[in-house]
Amino acid sequence: MAGSIQFRGNNRWQLIYSAGYDGNGKRIRHCKTITATSKRAAEKELVKYISEIDAGDRQVNSNIKFADFIMRWLTEYAEPNLAPKTVLGYRKRVEQRIIPLLGGYKINQITPMILMKFYQKIGRDGIRLDGKSGKLSQRSILHNHRILSAVLQKAVEWQVLPSNPATRVPTPRVPRKEMRYLNKAQIYKLVRALETEPLKYKAAIILTVGCGLRLGEIMGLEWKDIDFEKPSLVVRRTSQYIPCIGIITKQPKSESSMRVITLPEPVARALKIFREYQQKERQTILDLWHDTDRLFVQWNGLPMHPESISKWFLKFQRRHNLSEINFHGLRHTSVSILANSRVPVKEISVRTGHQSVSTTLNLYGHMLEGSDRMAADEIGKVLSEYQEFDAENKGSK
């Protein structure tokens, strides 16, 4: 408790409470002198005094407009703590959807009923801002709900609200999106089609399928991250493009994403060939080459735009009449290979950089059903043998 008492004589006590700092960095200090017959009685009065001050401060804070609070949440919490791409998405939804419809309310006027009406309104026809007809998807409504819930929860933590009204609103239901990935026959066609493509793109696709990396992780790789002796690679950084900001490089979003991955032999071989090619290219332009050490670069050694490989991949599939998936589908394909090969889910989780096994199961549980069937069959074999043995013993009595 950030409060104290001081005895002033003649049963007089001073109550002191430090309530943080104001906007100028000056300490907010509350003092009050009371009469009390003992220290214990003075301490009880201090507790009451602090409760009164906090209640009054909360009343003042809860009268601020929701638009003002949510912008404060963006600048004071989201920007310092969340990834730039995440903040950009939040800011876009806040400015285009949330503030126009909810910003005029005071924050203490935001109720579960108002939130439900907000979700109904943005779910109507004609509400889209991209010029397309139809309604917002349930996934878009869910994104707005998650932002509102996070903002209002922070209001509780900052003692602006006593509780979070978003927790008393049903979470918008989103149908599970079909996960698209390649089977063995389609992988074979993909690899064959890559034979005539530039080594840079060939290496990127083989690497993604072989190691299940995310696009940002692929684009952040440097040659010092590759150990051809083991062979293995280390995921240390990600690279992504943020509109209005440019290309940024940062650490992966979690500790589990920073990981060592053993390279399959074909992947290591493809990377060796690509490295030799890149070194030859470097020699042809000499001083024009920028030594960034990145694997995937432009003609002069500068990092490629993070989305250039995914855009190339889409055109490549159409050019070769292949089964079409997005670039992230190659990561799903990698997991499907592991699942079909009966690799334990814990190993799959570590290799893909998930924060927990539960994340892997939530995303790829349907792929792992075969492993569960195999486990059931193995137990069934043991039990069948026991039942046959038991039946023989019963018959001999």
pLDDT in tens, 279-326: 999 999 988 999 999 999 999 999 999 899 999 999 999 999 999 999
Are the beta carbons of 327 and 311 closer than 8 angstroms? no
Q: What is the pLDDT of residues 34-82, one digit of tens each?
A: 889 999 999 998 888 888 776 655 555 667 899 999 998 998 899 888 8
Residue 25 has pLDDT above 70, yes or no: no
Tell me: do 194 and 337 sit in the same domain: yes
With 60 as the cut, is the pLDDT of residue 235 above it?
yes
Of 168, 203, 234, which marks where a domain is finished?
168
Range of the domain at 40: 3-55
Assigned domain for 22 exists: yes
Highest mean pLDDT among 119-128, 142-151, 359-368: 142-151
CATH of the domain at 305: 1.10.443.10
Per-residue pLDDT, 382: 67
The per-residue pLDDT of the chain, averaged, comes to 86
- For residues 263 and 260, give the distance between their C-alpha atoms in angstroms, rounded to a whole number: 9
pLDDT score of 395 more than 60: no
Query: Based on the domain organization, do 140 and 104 belong to the same domain?
Result: yes
Confidence at residue 15, expressed as pLDDT on a 0 to 100 scale? 87
- Regarding whether 343 and 245 lie in a shared domain, the answer is yes
Edge-first strand listing for the sheet containing 232-234 = 226-227, 232-234, 260-262
Do 144 and 272 share a domain, yes or no?
no
pLDDT band at 263 (very low <50, low <70, confident <90, very high): very high
What integer pLDDT is reported at residue 57 of this predicted model? 54
Q: Is residue 286 part of a domain?
A: yes
Confidence bin at 20 (pLDDT 50/70/90): low
Q: Give per-residue pLDDT as tens, 163-222.
A: 999 999 998 888 877 789 999 999 999 999 999 999 999 999 999 999 999 999 999 999
Instruction: Tell me the C-alpha distance between 75 and 182, whole Å.
Output: 42
How many domains in the chain?
A: 3
Say if residue 334's pLDDT is above 80.
yes
274 contacts 199 by C-beta, under 8 angstroms? yes
What is residue 354's predicted lDDT score, i.e. its pLDDT?
Answer: 87
Tell me, what's the pLDDT at 23?
Answer: 43
Domain assignment present for 235:
yes
Tell whether the model's pLDDT for residue 98 goes beyond 90: yes
When pLDDT is averaged across residues 326-335 and rounded to a whole number, the result is 94
Give the pLDDT of residue 366. 72
pTM for the whole structure: 0.69
Asked if residue 377 belongs to a domain, the reply is no
What pLDDT score was predicted for residue 19? 67
380 within some domain = no
Q: What is the SS3 string spanning the chain?
A: CCEEEEEEECCEEEEEEEEEECCCCCEEEEEEEEECCCHHHHHHHHHHHHHHHHHHHHHHHCCCEHHHHHHHHHHHHHHHHCCHHHHHHHHHHHHHHHHHHHCCCEHHHCCHHHHHHHHHHHCCCCCCCCCCCCCCCHHHHHHHHHHHHHHHHHHHHCCCCCCCHHHHCCCCCCCCCCCCCCCHHHHHHHHHHHCCCCHHHHHHHHHHHHHCCCHHHHHHCEHHHEECCCCEEECCCEEEEECCCEEEEECCCCHHHCCEEECCHHHHHHHHHHHHHHHHHHHHHHHHCCCCCECCECCCCCECCCCHHHHHHHHHHHHCCCCCCCCHHHHHHHHHHHHHCCCCHHHHHHHHCCCCHHHHHHHHHHHHHHHHHHHHHHHHHHHHHHHHHHHHHHHHC
Whether residues 208 and 227 share a domain: the answer is yes
Residue 368 lies in a domain: no
Q: Are residues 223 and 327 in the same domain?
A: yes
| Listed residue (214, 205, 207) closest to 352, CA to CA | 214
- In the predicted model, what is the mean pLDDT of residues 94-108? 93
Q: Give a yes or no: residue 384 inside a domain.
A: no
Q: Is residue 373 part of a domain?
A: no
Do residues 41 and 79 both lie within one domain?
no
CATH assignment of the domain containing 149? 1.10.150.130
Q: Are residues 44 and 15 both part of a single domain?
A: yes
303 φ/ψ angles, rounded to the nearest 5 degrees: -55, 140
Beta bridge partners of 239: 249
Indicate if 192 and 307 belong to the same structural domain.
yes
| Same-domain check for residues 86 and 49 | no
State yes or no: pLDDT of 253 exceeds 90.
Answer: no
In contact, 102 and 66? CB cutoff 8 Å: yes
The answer to whether 139 touches 174, Cβ cutoff 8 Å, is: yes
Which of the listed residues 108, 143, 168 is the one where a domain comes to its end?
168
Based on the fold, state whether residues 319 and 189 are members of the same structural domain.
Answer: yes
Examine the domain organization and report whether 221 and 262 are in the same domain: yes
